[in-house]
Structure 1
Amino acid sequence: MTIDTWTDRLAGLRAARVEDPGAIGTALAARRRRPVLRGDGRLFIVAADHPARGALAVGGDSTAMADRGELLRRLAIALEHPGVDGVLGTPDIIDDLALLGLLDDRIVVGSMNRGGLRASRFEMDDRFTAYDVPTMVASGIDFAKTLLRVNLDDPGTAPTLESTGRVVTDAARAGLPIMLEPFMSRWNGDRVVNDLSTDAVVLSVAIAAGLGASSASTWMKLPVVEDMERVMAATTLPTLLLGGDSGADPDDTFASWQDALALPGVRGLTVGRTLLYPPDGDVAGAVDIAARLVHPNPVSDHSR
C-alpha cells in the first residue's frame, strides 16, 4: 500500500464519520464473519486497546501510539496476514477498521473496561467504559475482553471484581466468549505495577476464574512468565498468551512464546505493541514470525 493510497483511505474514513455515521453500523453488519475456532483451533489476535486507557507508550517512546492514522496503518498490515485471526480493540478502533473494510473473515474482540486510566489516582477502580455485552451481541462482535488487576491494598479493586463478575455472567448468558486478563498488582509510588512472579500469576488465575455465575464462556489472557507449566496447571479454562511490551529482545520473546504455546490449555496469542511497534519497524516481519508460531502448519486462510 502506497502512502498516497493510505492517505486517501484515511480521508475517506474521516469523511464517512462526518457525512454518514450510520455507515459504521452498516459496515459491521455487512462484514463476513467466521467461526471463533476453525482448523487447528488456535487463535492469533492483534491487540490495540491500549490508547483508550491512556497507555500510549511503547518501550522508551511515551507517545508511540498517539498517531491514530499510523496505528491503523500498522493494524492494516497485520490484518492482511492470513495467519492473523482477529483484532482486539475499543469501539473507536473497531469502528475505524470496519469503515476501512479490514474486518472481513476476522474475529473482532471488544475491549470493555478502560476506566482505570494509566497513572491516575483512581487507576485501580477499573470501570467498564467501552463495550457492553448487549452492544457486542447486537453489533456482531465475536469475543469480549476485560482487564482485571487485583490490588489487595486498594479498595478500588472491590467494585472492579464485582463489575467483572457481572459482565462474565452477562457474557455467559449471551453465549459470548469473554477473555479475562488478570494480574496481581500493587502501588509503587504513584505507579501501578503488575506482579509477574509465577505465584502471583497463579493466584490471579484462581481469583479471575471464579468470577461470574457461570464460567462457560470464560477464557484467560495470561502473561508468559517463569514456570508456565505451573501457571497452566492452575486452570482448565482456554488460555491466550499475552505478548506484553516490546522492551525485551525479540528473539527471546518469540522463543518464550513458542515454549508456552506447546502447553496444554494454551490456544494462541493476543499481542499488541510487541508486534505493531517492533524495534526494527518491520511490522509485517514480526507478525509473520508470530503467526507461524501459532499456526505452524497453515493450510489456507479459509481452511485452518
Structure 2
Amino acid sequence: MPQRKIVLMPYAVDNEHFSRVDEATLREVAAWRKRLDMGDQEAVVGFFGKLKHSKRPDLALRGLARAAAGLPAEKRPWLLFVGDGPLRDRLEKLAAKLYPGRVRFLGFQNQSLLPALYRLVDLLLLPSDFEPWGLVVNEAMCAGRAVVVSDRVGAAPDLVAGEARTGAVFINGSVTSLSAVLKTLLLDAPVLASAGKLASQRIQAWSFREDVAGLREALAELPGSALSVEPPQERRGVVAAYLGVHQVFQMGAAAAEAGRLEHFYCSLIRFPGRWGEIFARWLFIPSAMPLGAEVLPPERVSERPLPLLAQRIAER
C-alpha cells in the first residue's frame, strides 16, 4: 500500500474534559482526600478499571506492597481502586493482609467525577495481562499523571515506552519488575513530577484534533471526494459502523461533511424521537452520540439498541 494512503488516527479521549483543572476540580480533590483520610502530601497510586482477572488488580496490590516494604506505615503510598468487579471481596481481604490501612476501594464512579479522581492520584497503574489499548492511560496523562503499565498494554509503545518518559513499562505478571519501577518513580519526587509533566505534553498531540485531521486526509484520497485533488471517478461512499464511541462519531461526522456518508450505525443516538433520546431522558442511559443531529443526516442513521441494553441489564 502506498505510504500516502496510510494515515494516523490516534485512539483518543476527550482531552479537554480530562485536562480540566479549575477551582471546583481542586475542591473536589481536597474533599476526596479528606473523605478518604489521605494527607495532602501523601502519594497515591491509582488503579482505574474493572476488578477482574485480566486487569490484574491483585498484581497492583502485591507490587506496591513490595515496593513500599521497609517504609514506615505513614510513609507508604496509598493504593486507590476506582472501579468494581468480581474480585473486590478477594482484594479487600488481600489488602488487609499485605498492605493494611493503605488501600481504599471507591467502586464504580461516574465519568463526571474522573477528572478530580485522576488529579487525586500521583500515578496511574495498569498491570493488565491483556489490554488492546487502555484509554485510562490517555485520561490520566491528560491530568498530568505519570503512568506505569505492563508490556501487554496496547498504549505502551505509543504513549509510555522509549523516549516518551511519561512513566514506565514493566514485565507482565512480574511483581519484581513492577515493584522496581514503582520504587524508581514513587521514591523520587522530581522524577515522578517530570514524568507527569511529559505525560501532559505527550497526550496533547494524541487527540480528537489529530483524529479529524487523519480522517480528512484519508477521505481526500477517495475518488470524487470534495476533499480530493484527484479528478472525479466512480463514486464511493463511507459506511460507519461501531468502532468506539468517539472514533466512529468523528468518522461519520467527517464523512457527512465531505458528502461521503452512506450510512451510520450505532447503538443509540440522541435524535428527537429516537431510542437514544428516550433512554437518555427517562432511563438515564446516556446516548452513544450526543448532539448527533447537528452533524449527521438523520435519514442515514440506524440504531441497534438491543445489544447495548442486554449488556446493561446483565451488568446490573
The structure whose residues are more often strand, as a share, is 1
- Same fold, TM exceeding 0.5? no
TM-score, with length taken from structure 2: 0.23
TM-score, with length taken from structure 1: 0.23
Which structure ranks higher in relative contact order (CA pairs < 8 Å, sequence separation ≥ 6)? 1
